[in-house]
Structure 1
Amino acid sequence: MKLGQRLTELREKKGLTQDQMAERLGIKRPRYNSWENSIAKPDIEFIDKLAELHQVSVDFLLGRDSTVLPEWATSKDKRDFKTMLEEDGDVMFDGVPISGEDKEKIKRVMEAMFWDAKKDNKKTYGRKKKEE
Structure 2
Amino acid sequence: MVEHAFGPYLKQLREQQSYSINQLAEAAGISNSQISRIENGVRGVPKPATIRKLADALSVSYADMMKQAGYIEAASAVNEPQDIPEWATYKDRRDFKKMLEDEDDLMFDGIPLDDEDKKRIKDVLTGLFWEAKQMNKRKKTDEPDKRP
- TM score, norm. by length of structure 2: 0.44
